[in-house]
Amino acid sequence: MSRDSSKEHQALLRRARKGDREAQWDLGQIYFRGIDVPENMQEATRWFLKAAQRGHGEAQFLLALIHSRSGTGYYKPRRAIRWAKRAAKQQHAAAQYFLARCYVSGQGTAESIRKSTRYLELAAGSGLAKAQHDLAICYYKGDGKPQDYDEAFRWMRMAAEQGDAESQYKLGFSYWHGRGVEEDYVEAALWLRRAAEQGHAPAMDLLAACHMNGQGVPKNLEASLRWTMRAAKAGHARAQRHVGIRFNTGLLLENPDPETAVYWLMQSADQGDVDAQVLLGRLFARGRGVEADGIAAATLFRKAAEQGDPRAQYELGNMYYTGNILNKNYREAGRWLLQAAAQGHMEAQFTAGNLFYIGFEGVPDARKAARWYLQAAENGHEEAQARLGYLYGIGHGVEENAVESYIWYSLAADRGNDEGRQGVSRLEQELDPFNLAKLKQRVMIRKEEIDNRALDEEEY
């Protein structure tokens, strides 16, 4: 410490000892930050305490923070709450927000959504952007406040206008998807850019989509790729997946680059991105951009399957069903295929039907097989349609019904299925010509129903 600094320190010390709370606060900061003196937490806390006892709001809040940090000798959460309340009474917004978070987590006090929301409103009303953002979420979800999209939007915009990047992103997201506000791509791109320019990776990724599709901004494929790459390099899993897809397909690039695609997909998959895990699993299975490795593929499919992804559940179940890569195991196949089938995965529904048909649980069950074939057939699976035509024709698992048999065979035949064509040819020789004309009309109606269902699901 220089001579001048020493004189200033001594003068500050004298004022602090006389009870000047600003001097006590400044002295605490000097020891806390190690300004011209060695850091000394004990001395810093002593002077902060003196300033806090004299009503210094910043000192009260800093003591709350010091006592809230676990793993230190100063961790006293109840004391942290007491000091935060004293600061909050002085309209200290950060202290009010601190208390709101504590009442949610139960740190140092009993959990109370009501008290949390009250302090959150105080902090938001004091202009704290983080509190305004969180209050907007409360209104949006109806969590601690009545669900009110208008209020949610109002508070989110207030936070965004203060420069809060997360709020700017969510505001842009709301405009982009038309959630809680009328869809407006121009406003979406405006707010997404503001967040992206602050380094907000999800905003960068969505802004890239705006440039890709020309939504709210002129279509600019180079800008789209640039923002996606920035988000990917910032560690955003979805952007990493998007970059991987672009290198895999060659989208916006001169040529596909499977090896680089695998690199980015790995980055995304390691963060638990389900879509990346599924796509990367398929690349390993096919040996595209990487040496074929069935075990690696199965591992990736399992990770995604355990997160409930029906595509991965089907891929993993099918590996057990066929004995390709993994040892054939019908019980494990059934475990995964039935989960995928229950989520509407068409191929899984058909294969689940096969499992029940052969009796993977010990005894063949044609009725359960027929139920799964029906679901797959209604989703447009041609083999399932042909299989239903056969089952209705012989009355196995379902009541014998020549009309249903003809309808399902016809639908399969329309998709180019040989078994369906053969079934139609045979039944047309057996059925009355008059009834046959009516049946063909019913086939057209059923076909339209199936096609419409597929369109509805695609739109959804």
The token pair that represents 220 in the structure block: 């600019």
Record the pTM.
0.79
Residue 40: burial class (beta carbons within 10 Å; 0-12, 13-18, 19+): middle
pLDDT of residue 398: 96
Residue 438 resides in a domain: yes
**C-alpha to C-alpha distance for 435 and 418, rounded to whole angstroms:** 24
**C-alpha to C-alpha distance for 281 and 82, rounded to whole angstroms:** 53
Distances (CA, A) of 152 to 78, 97, 148, 149, 203: 32, 18, 6, 5, 19
Residue 403: closest CA among 423, 378, 373: 423
Averaged pLDDT, groups of 10, the chain, 460 residues long: 69 93 94 90 94 96 94 90 96 97 94 95 96 96 92 95 97 90 94 97 96 95 94 97 91 80 96 97 93 96 98 97 94 97 97 94 92 96 96 95 92 95 92 80 86 58
Residue 104 resides in a domain: no
**C-alpha to C-alpha distance for 16 and 47, rounded to whole angstroms:** 8
Give me the residue label for tokens 């179940």: 317
Secondary structure percentages of the chain, helix, strand, coil, to 5 = 75, 0, 25
Residue 137 resides in a domain: no
pLDDT of residue 111: 94
Residue 387 resides in a domain: yes
Question: Going by C-beta distance under 8 Å and a sequence separation of 6 or more, which residues neighbour residue 291?
Answer: none
Domain of residue 384 covers 380-460
Residue 192 resides in a domain: no
Residue 457 resides in a domain: yes
Residue 421 resides in a domain: yes
Domain count, the chain: 1
Residue 55 resides in a domain: no
pLDDT of residue 2: 54
